[in-house]
Amino acid sequence: MGIITIIIAIVVISVMAIKRINIGLAMLAGSAVLIIMTPLSLEQVLGAAQTALINPITWILIGSVLLIGMLGYILKNSGAMDIMVDSLVKLVGDSRWIMAVLAGVIGALVVPGGAMLSAPMIDQLGDKVGIGPEYKTGVNIIFRHVWYVSLPIIPSMLTAASLANVTPKELAAQNLPVLLVGLVSAWFLLLQPLPKSGGGKWNSKEFFRFAVSILPLLLVIFLYVIVGLHFLVSLALGVVVALFNLPEAGDSPLLSRVSSTGIHRAKTMLFPGIRLQLALAVAGVMLFKELLAVSGLINGFALNLVNMGIPMWLLLLVMPFIIGLATGSHEAAVAIAIPIFVPLLSPDIYLAGIGLTFIAASIGYMLSPLHLCVILTREYYNARFAQIYRYILPVTMIMLATGLIVAVLRGV
């Protein structure tokens, strides 16, 4: 009954998303399914709601998506995004490579709501090669997350390595073939068919224009990664710099133009850049996750499968995938799946089994309609929910199949 409840909840959320109903409301409807079908007591429901709403992570995510949306709006409407993309194309030449690198680099940062940082740039670059919102969503999601299966610095891999008592480097090396196949398939399926936008050529003037236009984003990354400031503080400072950056041309002194430009943008761009529907989406996702945890449906279903005598390779493939799909959280999927299989894996297949578990959980997470990056990117582009999977599904299925083949060749 547990898995049926989870499936019905995910179907309800997906159907509402396909109908373009606000994803926050869709998440609340999915939460209602859990409450009714489990069933959960009023005390459990109120406790889950309280935990979700007072959780600092919830408010950090809400603050992040609101500030990132504001920053993206200012960069786009101030002309900085146009300068950034135009300069990059002139320097590098091929918009396809630029999309892959920008999404990948920002994905490697693993910052809250990070898909929203790369979304505006993919938007501009995608327009140059003539792709629609669903295609842009697929590019942003795939090239942001393809690294997760073999990146030893991301929190979920550190967690998995710790739970499995292996080093992150060992786990990353085990999964490296999946990353390489994922990158190659993503290039040939998503980017190689697009028109090449021309040849690039080094130009110091264009490089300076690019550096100035991207300054607010570089500042956010520098303050967060190098200096160690809180991400929300770094974002807020990036928004302030974006307001005053690239002042309007004129005959008045530079300082006067900088101040007048900043004041004008603050009046006209701050509030329009706030997208409250994204805040509601975050709150809905966090509530659903808490209710799922309180219900105990995932753990109960996992233990039932293990006790049914199903082949180990199939368990390692299916169970973590379902957990990732149901939770929409990489960390949660890994934290639930790894401890289930650690005592069941013999020493000769241990690392291969842990690697497949991590890959399956990662692919389930990437595909989940509850995955916050999927939700935020789809909302940003106003993409049709069902159509984005025609771009995400092929690459992820190739990666999952590769993970299984690698594991089987190593004895699982």
Give, for 28, the enclosing helix (H) or strand (E). Answer: helix 23-37
Residues 353 and 345 sit within 8 Å (Cβ to Cβ): yes
Q: What is the DSSP letter of 202?
A: -
Residue type, 11: V
CA angle 265, 270, 272 (to 5 degrees): 110
In three-state secondary structure terms, 180 is helix
- In the numeric block, the tokens 């950056």 are attached to 245
With contact defined as beta carbons under 8 Å apart, do 265 and 74 qualify?
yes
pTM beyond 0.75: the answer is no
Q: Which of these ranges, 14-23, 101-110, 254-263, has the smallest mean pLDDT?
A: 101-110
Average the pLDDT over 192-220 and give the result. Answer: 84
User: Do 317 and 404 contact (CB within 8 A), yes or no?
Assistant: yes
Residues 6+ apart with CB under 8 A from 140: 103, 115, 118, 119, 122, 373, 377
Q: Is the pLDDT of residue 345 over 90?
A: no
Cα atoms found within 13 Å of the Cα of residue 328, Cβ hemisphere only: 25
The pLDDT of residue 302 = 64
pLDDT at 279: 81
Closest by alpha carbon to 281, among 12, 22, 43, 66?
A: 22
Mean pLDDT of 375-383: 88
Q: Where are the beta strands (DSSP E) in 141-240?
A: none
Contact of 30 with 286, CB cutoff 8 Å: no
Each residue's pLDDT tens digit, 138-168: 999 999 999 899 988 677 887 788 888 888 8
Distance of CA 385 to CAs 30, 100, 118, 134, 221, Å? 16, 22, 19, 8, 30
In angstroms, what CA-CA distances link 41 with 36, 291, 300?
Answer: 10, 11, 18
Task: Place 66 in a pLDDT band, splitting at 50, 70 and 90.
Answer: confident
What are the tens digits of pLDDT across the range 68-84?
A: 788 888 888 888 878 88
**398-408 residue pLDDT tens:** 999 999 999 99
Peptide bond into 177 cis (omega under 30): no
46 is written with which tokens? 């109120």
Residue 113 has pLDDT above 80, yes or no: no
At which residue do the structure tokens 């004895």 appear? 411
Residue 372 has pLDDT above 90, yes or no: no
Distance CA 275, CA 10 (A): 24
